[in-house]
Amino acid sequence: MTPSKPRRAKGTYFADRLTELCNTKPSVSAVARDLDINRQQFARYISGESLPRQAINQKIADYFGVDPGELHSDRPIKGRQTSSATTSSIVNAMMKLLDTAAVEPVTEEDLEAGFYWQYKLLFRRPGKVIKSLVMITKKDGVCRYKRRSSVLFIAQLNGAVRNTFNGVFFKQNGFLIMSDVGSALNDLTFHAFATRHHYDTTIKPGLHMTIGLSGAFGPKAARLFLKKIPEGDSILAHARKQGIVDISALPSGFAHILTGNGSEGSGVIQL
């Protein structure tokens, strides 16, 4: 009768898997250095003398892009489909998409220089819209956005909040993308606009997205649009009309861009 093989220690399985993964790197020392683990301690993991704590186990798994449980498997990791491999393929697909999304110049047809009204749904006041005057300039091939606001909020927000938003437009995948490049605000903000509305080429429906930093209210997203102000109009007269308005006070077409869901002419259908 052939005696059965003694069961291998779990630490030995871990050592086998760790050795297998380290063989995909330049050296064991380089792995220990990257993980900020003492080399002598790492050598004990490799030899099977010691097992890492849960936090270190997770750190090693993240480094090699495998599931933590696979580090203790009695089967080789190579050639097996893992959740991280699936994730990796998704990430690679996204990278390829971005690589092919060449930045294009913003043409006069896409966006004219001049003054615009900006209508944006308010994050914290449902049914309300903020009307702001926006100036768009073009110089040396650079399309810039500038908006200055002075809004009085509630007391805990320290009274009057004044900010200037300076952005730069570029065109990618057929859309106008704009991010803040000027004065620091409470949020990191991004905008994406369609180059035209379904019915009106002077309207640019879009989305305002904010990734909240400390003391901010993000992350959030709201619909907005830009409407070109005709040449010759008094900008001073328009400026007096800035402020917060009820969405019911807007023309039905404007309200539809901000609230319509999937129907022709709504902001959603454009983006």
Same domain, 59 and 125: no
Q: What percent of the chain has pLDDT over 90?
A: 15
Can you spell out the DSSP letters for 168-198? EEEEETTEEEEEE-SS--SEEEEEEE-SS-S
Strands (E), 64-202: 103-104, 114-121, 128-139, 142-152, 160-172, 175-180, 187-193
> Is residue 110 scored above 50 in pLDDT?
yes
Please tell me the predicted confidence (pLDDT) of residue 204.
92
pTM across the whole model: 0.56
Is 225's pLDDT higher than 60?
yes
Residue holding tokens 């489909």?
81
Q: Mark whether 39 and 88 lie in a shared domain.
A: yes
Task: Read off the CATH number of the domain in which 77 is found.
Answer: 1.10.260.40
Secondary structure (3-state) at 142: strand
Q: What is the pLDDT of residue 83?
A: 44
Q: Contact, 131 vs 118, CB < 8 A?
A: yes
What does the pLDDT look like over 38-78, one tens digit per residue?
A: 999 999 999 988 899 888 988 898 888 887 788 888 888 86
Q: What is the dihedral of CA 192, 196, 202, 203, to 10 degrees?
A: -50
Instruction: Between 189 and 116, name the one with better pLDDT.
Output: 116
Number of domains forming the structure of the chain: 2
- Give the domain CATH number at 126: 2.40.128.120
H-type helices in 198-264, by residue range? 235-239, 252-259
Together in a domain, 86 and 119: no
Rounded to 5°, the CA angle 88-90-94 comes to 115
Residue 217 has a pLDDT of 55
The pLDDT value given to residue 75: 83
Evaluate if residue 229 carries a pLDDT over 90: yes
Is pLDDT larger for residue 123 or for residue 97? 123
Within-domain flag for 240? yes
What mean pLDDT, rounded, does the chain reach? 76
* pLDDT score for 153: 47
Q: Which domain holds residue 84?
A: 10-100
The mean pLDDT value for 91-110 works out to: 69
Residue 177 pLDDT grade (very low, low, confident, very high; cuts 50, 70, 90): confident
CA 244 to mean position of chain CA atoms: 28
Percent of the chain with pLDDT over 70: 70
